[in-house]
Chain A
Amino acid sequence: MATIDLIDLKKNYGNVPAVKGVNLKVADGELIVLVGPSGCGKSTLLRMVAGLETVTSGRLEIGGRDVVKAEPAERDIAMVFQNYALYPHMSVRGNLEYGLKNRGTPRAEIDRRVQEAADILEIGPLLDRKPRQLSGGQRQRVAMGRAIVREPAAFLFDEPLSNLDAKLRVQMRVEIRKLQRRLKTTSLYVTHDQLEAMTLADRLVVMNAGLVEQIGTPTEVYDHPATLFVAGFIGSPPMNLIDVASLSNRRGLDGLPAGTDIIGIRPDVLFLTPQEGISLSMQGTVELLEPIGGESHLHVRLDSSGQSVVLSVPGRPNIAEGSAVTLHARVADIHPFNAQTGRRTDTAVANL
């Protein structure tokens, strides 16, 4: 049980900055997901917290204790790796016990914790097997088990699900969430998968190019993306970002804050029928209709600029490709941005 505080944490590789000053306060028992494209510095940040990367500058506290100079083992953390990093020559039991033995945990206590973890993760029958005799999902559980038995102040997850197939990934995602709720252990979780991030996180940290773009609950981040980057990164299909200058009909945009030159509209709030209240409408031509089951994605080329936008439409609309349509969006659903700063122009979003 612990808080994790990152204060202006920076990491350079030679002259190349990888993490450019991150501030983050993780509350006790909270699950924070670091999400961003590859190379954004999220893994480096996690590995700095783990003690596997040195800190170039800044402060790092776990449970109120400065750990910048501490060895990984002294930080009271446990880590789950992307490739699981199970010791291949040890049995599952050996893998679970290793960290405890190194800490001189009494035998009875080791046995109790291993049994408990095995029960929680339902890996009891696997305890005497070697990692190579396990399936991907089972290895994932053992890797989790190795973290659980330690009863650490914090769990660190480094893309733990990306080596699993799609179906198993969803299943394990749910299990990790349930497990974390049950154990109430402070957790930092790194992923590049925005869906995984949205479903798991108490709060999201969206990172890009070594900087934090936004910190907030998944709904906050989805409903009020602080920057153009977040707007484009979170949500699938991504938000449509349209240059205001390219619109021929700007009726309804008068009320937007000063400095707004880009507007964002989520695909699910673009409609083919006129909406009540003040709304924006745009002419376009249907390019492609993608039915994906319960809903369809409609790709429409705007007449005014030639830009393609996407709509999520319920069911399977009967629209021929090439037909002309008018798109409608309520002004209340429009996200205003400034291209220069890359930030929202309406409300400043609180970032800590």
Chain B
Amino acid sequence: MVENRPWLSFLTHLVLIAGVVVVVFPVYLAFIASTHGSGDFMRGLVPLLPGPHMLENYGRMLTQGISTAGAPPVSIMLMNSTIIAIIIAVGKIAISLLSAYAIVFFKFPFRLLAFWIIFITLMLPVEVRIIPTFAVVANLGLLNSYVGLTLPLIASATATFLFRQFFLTVPDELMEAARVDGAGPMKFFRDILLPLSRTNIAALFVILFIYGWVQYLWPLLVTTDSKYYTVVMGIKRLAATADSEPLWNLVMASVILAMLPPVLVVIFMQRLFVKGLVDTEK
């Protein structure tokens, strides 16, 4: 800071505290709601202080769920979300590493075409091609399966570009030294390039795990069997019923459970998260 002005510092902290309150308050409210009994919502205003039913509510949602909502217990949906987010993250990283490797370390006919085909995926989010994509997945018999939930999301231009960018910064001589040392292309990839990409892979994993976790439209389309529900889409079903029945406490318990894993990832891997976020946009 150039100069020291107490009132400005005060204002700065005031702004930040107000910001934190705005950001945290909706979640605080949800958490409070999740600690009350269902009767506490009859009086017309949500409670603002914790109630005594926290363990009961969370326990119930994890093990049983709400039978009328047609969603399985949250623990099953959490498991599904975890599996899907991990498959998507690992899958995207794996195929992007391989394609970036091909594009940077080899010269071959149609290299530019391949690059452009990958690039185009940036311009085709699921949201703009819902029906034909659904038709493809349905025709392949992939509805209600982990493959159907993950495979169509696994292509990644951003991850490919990120690795391409990184590979270009790896000194040429490293690959030459490895070749002189008798390493073929796959050996070089495994022994040298992968270990060097470790940080990038980890940062990308954080971002892509979150990406996979928060998917909503796609799971909504391809799953009708509640066995495959992810927590994010399952919650929507719970919330829809909560409007008719006062089950706010249970819905909010599931909301907190659905938020927790990716939020914890961001908080505890903040450095990787920030790196991943900033790198993927370059």
On A, residues with C-beta under 8 Å from B are 50-52, 71-73, 77-79, 81-89, 98-99, 102-103, 146, 150
- Which residue of chain A is the closest to B177 with respect to CB atoms? A85
Chain A residues contacting B196 (CB-CB under 8 Å) are 88-89
A87 in contact with B182 (CB, 8 Å):
no
Chain A residues contacting B176 (CB-CB under 8 Å) are 50, 52, 72, 79, 81, 85
Q: Is B174 engaged at the interface, CB distance under 8 Å to the other chain? A: yes
Chain B residues contacting A99 (CB-CB under 8 Å) are 180-182
A73 in contact with B182 (CB, 8 Å):
yes
Closest 10 CB pairs of A and B: A99-B181, A85-B173, A73-B182, A102-B182, A85-B177, A89-B195, A81-B173, A72-B179, A72-B180, A79-B180
Chain A residues contacting B182 (CB-CB under 8 Å) are 73, 99, 102-103
B187 in contact with A102 (CB, 8 Å):
yes
A79 in contact with B177 (CB, 8 Å):
yes
**Contact of A73 (CB < 8 Å), options: B173, B180, B192, B195:** B180
Q: Is B56 engaged at the interface, CB distance under 8 Å to the other chain? A: no
7 A-B interface contacts by CB (under 8 A):
A81-B176, A86-B177, A87-B177, A87-B192, A89-B192, A89-B195, A102-B183
Q: Is B109 engaged at the interface, CB distance under 8 Å to the other chain? A: no
Q: How far is the CA of A84 from the CA of B173 in the complex (A)?
A: 8
Chain B residues contacting A52 (CB-CB under 8 Å) are 176, 179-180
A78 in contact with B180 (CB, 8 Å):
yes
Q: How far is the CB of B28 from chain A (nearest CB, A)?
A: 44
Chain B residues contacting A81 (CB-CB under 8 Å) are 173, 176-177
Q: How far is the CA of A78 from the CA of B198 in the complex (A)?
A: 28
Chain B residues contacting A79 (CB-CB under 8 Å) are 176-177, 180
**Contact of A85 (CB < 8 Å), options: B171, B187, B195:** B171
B179 in contact with A87 (CB, 8 Å):
no
Q: How far is the CB of B108 from chain A (nearest CB, A)?
A: 15
A102 in contact with B181 (CB, 8 Å):
yes
Q: How far is the CA of A99 from the CA of B174 in the complex (A)?
A: 13
Q: How far is the CB of A184 from chain B (nearest CB, A)?
A: 21
Chain A residues contacting B179 (CB-CB under 8 Å) are 51-52, 71-73
Chain B residues contacting A77 (CB-CB under 8 Å) are 180
Q: A82-B173, A83-B173, A85-B174 are in contact. Are A98 and B180 (CB under 8 A)?
A: no
On B, residues with C-beta under 8 Å from A are 171, 173-174, 176-183, 187, 191-192, 195-196, 198
A98 in contact with B191 (CB, 8 Å):
yes
**Which has the most chain A C-beta neighbours within 10 Å: B177, B178, B187, B196?**
B177
Q: How far is the CB of A77 from chain B (nearest CB, A)?
A: 7
Q: How far is the CA of A143 from the CA of B195 in the complex (A)?
A: 20
Q: How far is the CA of A58 from the CA of B49 in the complex (A)?
A: 86
Q: How far is the CA of A89 from the CA of B198 in the complex (A)?
A: 10
**Contact of B174 (CB < 8 Å), options: A71, A73, A87:** A87
Q: How far is the CB of B190 from chain A (nearest CB, A)?
A: 12
Chain A residues contacting B171 (CB-CB under 8 Å) are 83, 85
Q: How far is the CA of A67 from the CA of B246 in the complex (A)?
A: 81
Q: How far is the CA of A73 from the CA of B196 in the complex (A)?
A: 22
Chain A residues contacting B187 (CB-CB under 8 Å) are 102
Q: How far is the CB of B214 from chain A (nearest CB, A)?
A: 33
Q: How far is the CA of A73 from the CA of B191 in the complex (A)?
A: 16
Q: How far is the CA of A87 from the CA of B174 in the complex (A)?
A: 7
Chain B residues contacting A71 (CB-CB under 8 Å) are 179
Q: How far is the CB of A160 from chain B (nearest CB, A)?
A: 12
Q: How far is the CB of A82 from chain B (nearest CB, A)?
A: 7
**Which has the most chain A C-beta neighbours within 10 Å: B182, B191, B192, B195?**
B182
- Which residue of chain A is the closest to B198 with respect to CB atoms? A89
Q: How far is the CA of A269 from the CA of B183 in the complex (A)?
A: 54
Q: A73-B181, A85-B177, A146-B177 are in contact. List 9 more A-B contacts (CB 8 A).
A: A50-B180, A51-B180, A52-B180, A81-B177, A83-B171, A85-B174, A98-B178, A98-B181, A102-B181
Chain B residues contacting A51 (CB-CB under 8 Å) are 179-180
Chain B residues contacting A150 (CB-CB under 8 Å) are 181
- Which residue of chain A is the closest to B194 with respect to CB atoms? A89
Q: How far is the CA of A158 from the CA of B187 in the complex (A)?
A: 24
Q: How far is the CB of B270 from chain A (nearest CB, A)?
A: 24
Q: How far is the CB of B71 from chain A (nearest CB, A)?
A: 46
Chain A residues contacting B173 (CB-CB under 8 Å) are 81-85
Q: How far is the CB of B170 from chain A (nearest CB, A)?
A: 10
Chain A residues contacting B178 (CB-CB under 8 Å) are 87, 98
- Which residue of chain B is the closest to A150 with respect to CB atoms? B181
Q: How far is the CA of A146 from the CA of B174 in the complex (A)?
A: 13
- Which residue of chain A is the closest to B179 with respect to CB atoms? A72
Q: How far is the CA of A150 from the CA of B181 in the complex (A)?
A: 9
Q: How far is the CA of A150 from the CA of B182 in the complex (A)?
A: 11
Chain B residues contacting A87 (CB-CB under 8 Å) are 174, 177-178, 191-192
Q: How far is the CA of A85 from the CA of B180 in the complex (A)?
A: 11
